[in-house]
Amino acid sequence: MALLGRVVFTVKSTGIVRKVDELGRIVLPIELRRTLDIAEKDALEIYVDGSAIVLKKYQPACLFCDDADDVISYKGKNICRSCIKALEKQL
């Protein structure tokens, strides 16, 4: 079991082994990409957990509360509508 941000997940072996090429790349098998809904050009976040490398499909999250729902980008920063409302109340 591993902790990633606020998400706890259980690590499960797929039995898939891939070699790293001379440029440091690996290929994610199509079955895995389909299962995890990873499309061509999707962004993946890279985390390190001890000696493990964890890849997670990137989902923009709020700068303040880390919520990924209803997020907008303003001047390169991601902010959710709840935090925008809270900021408006302070003005």
- Supply the pTM of this predicted model: 0.61
pLDDT tens digits, one per residue of 28-72: 999 999 999 999 999 999 999 889 898 988 888 999 998 888 999
Q: Show me where the domains of the chain are located.
A: 1-58, 61-91
1-58 folds as Pemi-like Protein 1; Chain: D (2.10.260)
Q: Which residues pair with 14 in a beta bridge?
A: none
Helix (H, G, I), strand (E, B) or coil at 15: coil
Backbone angles phi, psi at 54, to 5 degrees: -115, 125
Please write the tens of the pLDDT for every residue from 74-86: 898 999 999 999 9
CA 18 and chain centroid, separation: 21
